[in-house]
Amino acid sequence: MRNLEEIITALKEYDGEEVRIMEVCGTHTAAISENGIPDMLSPKIKLISGPGCPVCVTVTAVIDKLVELAMREDTCVLTFGDLIRVKGTSKSLADAKADGAHVRMVYSPMESIKLAEEDPAHTYVFAAIGFETTTPVYAMLLEEAVKKDLKNLKLLTSLKTMPEVIRWVVTNGGGIDGFIAPGHVAAVTGSGIFEELSKELGIPFVVSGFEGAQLLMTIYALISMKGKTGMKNLYKDVVSYEGNIKAQEVVNKYFEPSDSSWRGMGKIPGSGMTLRKEFSPFDAGSIGLDEDHMPPGCQCANVLVGKLRPYECPLFGKACTPDNAHGACMVSTEGSCYNYFVSGRK
């Protein structure tokens, strides 16, 4: 086993076949940029950001529905900060708020319980956006809402699952030699799902945390595994093979697998989670939100699946910056374009 210094040297001096490695977690994208990892690698090691930013992959139909709900006199939309600035077909939630819509940023979904209890005259709709990481939190929110019989609390869901989109990327993009498996997702699902994907797709996976040293070890491991199948878990202090069984159980109680639409990828079978029928009174209208209208010139769809690097988009750093985001990938701090811009990453 090489020490970190030897691994850094090996990555910088690598002169073998080109290796294309994709991270499918927005937090990994941010950590790679923050730690200056691209500058530590040989030009023959290509890091590609995948569809791991939940805000980025949310289609415009979801934003449009949230705007519609927020414009109602008796309804308030609750959301995390990043989603407020993402544009729908014509406006974002921030634009709608400026026009008088009821939009409120919260730091935790559980805040909506107190708001709904204290104000029964209004309906509170939480924008439930995310991957396997956040879905258990929304399930716990529903558990509390059911217990308290809150009729004025609903969810608009756009919940995604990771295995299916990885299959889509490999099938429709190709050229990926290895995946940095998403550590937060794996903490819930377990590392076992990535072992199964590796066998199916013939591509290695390494589950990683978010420290710079561990990411470097992960990249080194994937280069060593190029052309082979297999899964390694380098995040064992957080991720087990089986995952968080209790979280999986509470999710399965309230949600079931469904087809889901992804920005730039269309509808991917079995790639989402929707409320079970018995809990449909808590749904604010999530079904059938499939349309996606990209802003003119925006290349987020190609960036999300690794066909383009962010700086290859003609709008990058010109018409599209973090202060004036044209596309969703420049809005979120987990977005590929945002991280490439703020770090000067190439």
Split at pLDDT 50, 70, 90, the class of 93 is very high
- How far apart (Å, rounded) are the C-alpha atoms in residues 318 and 18? 31
> How many other C-beta atoms are found inside a 10 Å radius of the C-beta of residue 168?
18
Summarize pLDDT for 97-107 with one digit per residue, the tens: 999 999 999 99
Strands 266-275 and 153-160: what pairing? Answer: antiparallel
Residues 6+ apart with CB under 8 A from 242: 190, 192
DSSP label at 321? Answer: B
Q: Are 89 and 333 in contact (CB under 8 A)?
A: no
Q: Are 281 and 304 in contact (CB under 8 A)?
A: no
d(CA 299, CA 285): 28
**Cα 61 from Cα 212, distance rounded (Å):** 37
How confident is the model over 293-304, as a mean pLDDT? 89
Assess contact for 203 and 227: CB atoms under 8 A.
no
pLDDT digit string, tens, across residues 2-38: 899 999 999 999 999 999 999 999 999 999 999 999 9
pLDDT band at 345 (very low <50, low <70, confident <90, very high): confident
CA angle 336/132/136 to nearest 5° reads 130
Q: If you average pLDDT over every residue of the chain, what do you get? A: 94
Nearest to 304 by CA among 29, 80, 111: 29
Give yes or no for residue 332 having a pLDDT over 70.
yes
Q: Which amino acid is it at 22?
A: M
The token pair that represents 202 in the structure block: 């013939």
Contact criterion met (CB below 8 Å) for 150 and 170: no
What are the start-end ranges of the E strands in 136-203? 153-160, 178-181
201-222 pLDDT, tens per residue? 999 999 999 999 999 999 999 9
Can you give the pLDDT at residue 81? 84
Please write the tens of the pLDDT for every residue from 38-54. Answer: 999 999 999 999 999 99
Among residues 171, 211, 170, 183, which one has the least CA distance to residue 48? 170
Q: Specify the pLDDT at position 274.
A: 97
DSSP 3-state assignment of 196?
A: helix
If you average pLDDT over each of 80-94, 180-194, 325-339, which comes out highest? 180-194
Question: Taking 90 as the threshold, does the pLDDT of residue 295 lie above it?
Answer: no
Instruction: Give the mean model confidence (pLDDT) for residues 315-320.
Output: 94
For residue 132, what pLDDT is reported?
Answer: 97
**Radius of gyration for the chain, computed over Cα atoms and rounded to the nearest angstrom:** 20
| Band (173; pLDDT cuts 50, 70, 90) | confident
* Tens of pLDDT, residues 275-292: 999 999 999 999 999 999
Cα within 13 Å of Cα(31), Cβ side: 19
Judging by beta carbons within 10 Å of its beta carbon (0-12, 13-18, 19+), is residue 227 exposed, middle or buried? exposed
pLDDT interval class at 1 (50, 70, 90): low
Q: Quickly count: other Cβ atoms within 10 Å of residue 22's Cβ.
A: 26
- Residue 307's pLDDT is 87
Compute the average pLDDT of residues 302-324.
92
Q: What is the percent of the chain with per-residue pLDDT over 90, rounded to a whole number?
A: 88
